[in-house]
Amino acid sequence: MNLMLPDTGLLFWMTVIFLIVLFILAKFGFPMITGMVDKRNKRINDSLEAARIAEEAIATLQQEQERIIAETRSEQSRLMQEAAAERDRMIAQAQDQARAEAQKIMDDARVRINEEKEAAMKEIRNEVAQISLAIAEKVVRKDLSDDAAQKQLVDKLLEEIEG
């Protein structure tokens, strides 16, 4: 018996056993294996399809997000412009009101100053008149202390009135 050359009986039984194992595998094992491989392929393909659909949905959502952001920015810009215009309008209105109020205050102050000036002038005139009368009274009393001076003053006044 040579170790390198197998015996014919051994070859026969090895062949038979191989054929039986091959038949059993072909009948039961290979269909299960190919079925599992097919299921796995189907699951992978379904996952790839779902990923593609999700990617498209993400792209659509991203475009929608960009559109919404653009609309929001334009709306924000519009609102900022409106707010600036309203602020300017309110400032202008407040300035106009302040000018009108300042003008009214100035006019009222002028009127009050004129009234106070007139009142002061009247008061000064009255005081001057009273002082003049007091001085005249003192001068006249002094000058008219005797009868001759009184007669002379009366004659002088009559000449001024006639003349």
pTM of the model: 0.42
CB-based contact 144:150 (threshold 8 Å): yes
Residue 114 lies in a domain: yes
Residue 9 lies in a domain: no
pLDDT in tens, the chain (163 residues): 566 777 888 889 999 999 999 999 999 988 998 999 999 999 999 999 999 999 999 999 999 999 999 999 999 999 999 999 999 999 999 999 999 999 999 999 999 999 999 999 999 888 887 877 777 777 666 666 677 777 777 777 778 778 7
Residue 11 lies in a domain: no
Residue 121 lies in a domain: yes
Residue 6 lies in a domain: no
Residue 7 lies in a domain: no
Residue 8 lies in a domain: no
Residue 153 lies in a domain: yes
Domain of residue 142: give its range: 16-162
Give the chain's domain count: 1
CB-based contact 1:7 (threshold 8 Å): yes
Q: Which 3-state string (H, E, C) describes the chain? A: CCCCCCCHHHHHHHHHHHHHHHHHHHHHHHHHHHHHHHHHHHHHHHHHHHHHHHHHHHHHHHHHHHHHHHHHHHHHHHHHHHHHHHHHHHHHHHHHHHHHHHHHHHHHHHHHHHHHHHHHHHHHHHHHHHHHHHHHHHHHHHHCCCHHHHHHHHHHHHHHHHC
The residue type at 105: I
